[in-house]
Amino acid sequence: MALLERINSGLRKKVFSLQEAFVLAWNAIRFIFARPFYREDVIQQMDAIGVQSLGIVVLTGFFTGMVLALQSAIQMQRFGATSYVGSLVTASMIRELGPVLAGLMVAGRVGSGIAAQLGSMRVTEQIDALNVMGTDPIKKLVTPRLIAALIMLPVLTVINDVAGIFGGNVIAKFYLQLPSSLYWSTVWDQIASGGFILRVIPNDFIHGLFKPFVFGGIISLTACHFGLRTTGGTEGVGVATTRTVVTASILILVTDYFITQTLLALLPS
Amino acid sequence: MSADSNDDAKDDGIYNRNSHPERREADRRGVDKPGDTDDAAPGRVRAAIRREIKADDDQNPGQPVGDGKPIIEVRDVYLAFDRPVLEGVSFVANEGETVAVVGESGTGKSTIIKLILRLLVADRGEVLILGKDIENLTYEQALEIRQHMGMVFQASALFDSLTVFDNVAYPLREHTKLTEDEIGQRVREKLRYVDLDPDEVTQLAPSELSGGMQKRVGVARGLAADPKIMLYDEPTSGLDPLTTGTITNLIMKLQRDLNVTSVVVTHDIRSAFRMSSKIALLHEHRIVFFGSPEEMAASDDKYIQTFLGGY
């Protein structure tokens, strides 16, 4: 009986937590369109989430592009197809690795930061203080972070993609001795081969930009959810931070699959 | 949905239904009674309390007791989470009064403040603020009513991402249409009021201040929007005796100068005796005493005597 009860109460807590997360998400999205607008907070968060993540995004993108080119070159050399290395790097970066890598890096860097900040605010009663002073903490803290992440994640992803393709170019030029012009023409060929929407927007770009938009929502809302429901003092802040990074990373990888599946069905090449 | 389901007809003293009739009678008599009841309270504890109260009489001459209209009314409130927290708690704070809620740790003292702020809603009973029943308000309406209240938190709860100036200016920027110049003036005025030098502190981060200074900035922030009600959660905990005295004096000054109604949750019985018009003693989820400090000191109730014995 005791075991059953424990399972029951454990499950109930999980369901309540999930419910809270959805209520938080709904309110945060609703408040995007409701006054007052905290513009300064949005800009501050765009700086914290976007500008300050530039370094790690460029670095990880560049090296991932290089390693992709290197690994695929080894395989392609067997078929004498090394000239297509640009295609391979581009396809992987724009459709998959760019969004996922940027998402995971931002989940680690920004998600943990948001959870720690809101968690500390919770345990030092600053969230209560906001409530007491007649400010809705969701409107003041969550919505600006959500807006900033929705805008900045696609931007970071584009930068990540470009850095990756440049990384591939470095390997193509210095390791495979391919001329840059050939590399870049295969890059464009690859983008064009995915097909276009409205004749001008490559399908690849839709994949590449829709995913980070969703990931931005996942990261900011997960972090705010765990941050705001922090209990148990400073130890609780640590727990909230860890949970945020783990949950956001898993959610990014799982939703990535489903978005890919859906987009492939909707936008056939 | 309606915020005005209440009416003045409720302001008839029902709030005292849970306290002893003789205590209600004692409440009406007020603090200015002759000191004859003191004779019935021999012993060092009571003598010390009498000295404390008398010492403050000169500082706190205009303490209104029971004459103003009710500002905060807590009526027969029940609240339970996993276990009971409050059972049939009632008390009232009239205009200009300072009510200290005292009791052992974990008796639900801070919960009372959360109920007044409507951060929590009672399972049963009513909480009336400025004559309005706040139990059935929507979240937005609750945010609105909270603008009439200033709150000083136990750990000050200053926003650590903002400077002292921005902290005190926060409620003004949020809810008034004052210009930045006017806000600047008001912030400096409030900081001076709590004995801080605006030129020195405005650009500092809260973390650069001492505990006592943080608390004073907290009071200045609570005061910024000129609230009718001030709430204090353990305002003197963790402070040295001198700073405790300063904060206690500040709370008394506020009451004297601004006629704000205050509820102070504290376990510091010495400060409670100095600053409050009435004391509510919480024990086992109930208010076992509600009356003036003198009446508390004079009480023969065993628990009260044990409680004061620690003082």
pLDDT at position A91 over 80: yes
Whole-number Å distance between alpha carbons of A106 and A108:
5
Q: Note the pLDDT of residue B44.
A: 56
Shortest alpha-carbon distance between residue A139 and chain B (Å): 12
Tokens representing A218 are 């996942």
Q: Who among A125, A134, A135 is closest to B157 (CB)?
A: A125
Which amino acid is residue A158, in one-letter code?
A: V
Mean pLDDT of A216-224: 95
Q: Pick the closest to residue A154 from A219, A80, A103 (CA basis).
A: A103
- N- to C-terminal Cα separation, chain A: 56
The nearest alpha carbon in chain A to B154 belongs to A125
The pLDDT value recorded for residue A143 is 94
Q: Which of A198, A203, A200 is nearest to A266 (CA)?
A: A203
Q: What single-letter amino acid sits at B291?
A: G
Q: How confident is the model at residue A218 (pLDDT cuts 50, 70, 90)?
A: very high
Nearest to B144 among A124, A126, A134 (CB): A134
- Helix (H) / strand (E) element for B209: namely none
3-state helix, strand, coil in chain A (%, to 5): 85, 0, 15
Question: How would you classify the pairing of strands B286-291 and B261-265?
Answer: unpaired
Q: Give A195 to chain B, closest Cα distance, Å.
A: 48
**Among residues of chain A, what percentage have pLDDT more than 70?**
99
Q: Span A237-256, mean pLDDT?
A: 95
Contacts of A128 in chain B (CB under 8 A): 119, 153, 157
Predicted pLDDT at B10: 30
In order, the DSSP letters of A71-90 are HHHHHHHTTT-GGGHHHHHH
B146 vs A132: CB contact, 8 Å cut-off?
yes
Nearest to A133 among B119, B155, B171 (CB): B171
Give the tokens for residue B14: 């029902």
The span from the CA of A213 to the CA of A155, in Å, is 9
Question: If you count residue pairs, one on A and one on B, with CB atoms under 8 Å apart, how many are there?
Answer: 48
Least confident segment among A80-84, A253-257, B82-86: A80-84
Give Cα separations from B85 to A67, B7, B78 (angstroms).
Answer: 61, 28, 8
Pair of tokens at residue B216? 């004073």
Using CB atoms, pick whichever of B143, B160, B171 lies closest to residue A136.
B143
Task: Give the chain B residue whose CA is nearest to the CA of A35.
Answer: B174
pLDDT in tens, B240-296: 888 888 889 888 888 888 888 999 998 888 888 888 899 999 888 888 889 988 888
ipTM of the predicted structure? 0.76
The answer to whether A105 and A235 have CB atoms below 8 angstroms apart is no
A32, A131 contact by CB (below 8 A): no
- How many Å lie between the alpha carbon of B91 and the closest alpha carbon of chain A? 22
Candidate from A183-192, A197-206, B16-25, B300-309 with smallest mean pLDDT? B16-25
**What is the rounded CA–CA span in Å between residue B1 and residue A246?**
41
CA-nearest residue of chain A to B224? A133
Order of all β-strands in the sheet with B124-129: B84-94, B70-80, B124-129, B132-133
Mean pLDDT, consecutive 10-residue stretches, chain B (311 aa), reads 35 30 33 37 54 51 55 90 87 90 83 88 89 83 85 90 92 88 92 89 91 89 89 87 87 86 89 90 88 87 80 52
Asked if the model's pLDDT at residue A10 lies above 80, the reply is: yes
CA A250/CA A218 separation, integer angstroms: 10
Q: How far apart are CA A45 and CA A223, in angstroms?
A: 13
All residues of chain B having their beta carbon less than 8 Å from the beta carbon of residue A131 are 117, 119, 143, 146
For A45, the enclosing helix (H) or strand (E) is: helix A39-49
User: Before A36, cis peptide (omega within 30)?
Assistant: yes
Does B160 contact chain A (CB < 8 Å)? yes
Q: How far is CA A202 from the centre of its chain?
A: 21
Q: How far is CA B97 from CA B11, B72, B204, B277, B286, in A?
A: 16, 10, 34, 6, 21
CB-based contact (8 Å) between B238 and chain A?
A: no
What distance in Å separates residue B156's CA from the closest CA in chain A? 8
| Continuous H helices in A124-232 | 126-132, 137, 143-174, 180-193, 203-228
Query: Under a CB-based contact definition with an 8 Å cutoff, are residues B294 and B31 in contact?
Result: yes
pLDDT of A121 reads 93
Determine whether the interchain pair A135/B139 forms a contact, defined as Cβ–Cβ distance below 8 Å: no
Enclosing H/E stretch for B151: strand B149-152
Over residues A117-170, the pLDDT tens digits come to: 999 999 988 998 998 888 889 999 999 999 999 999 999 999 999 999 999 999
CA dihedral B201, B206, B208, B209 (to 10 degrees): 70
Of A124, A135, A136, the CB nearest to B157: A124
Name the residue among A129, A134, A136 with its Cβ closest to that of B157: A129
Q: How far is CA B172 from CA A134, B188, B206, in A?
A: 11, 13, 18
Best of A27, A124, A132 to disrupt the B interface by mutation (most B CBs within 10 Å)? Answer: A132
Q: From A134, which residue of chain B is nearest by alpha-carbon distance? A: B143
Q: What residue in A sits closest to B171 (Cα-Cα)?
A: A133
Q: Which residues of A touch B158 (CB under 8 A)?
A: 126, 129
pTM: 0.79
Chain A CB within 8 Å of residue B303 CB: no
Q: Distance from A128 to chain B by nearest Cα, in Å?
A: 8
Alpha carbon distance B289, B20 (integer Å): 8
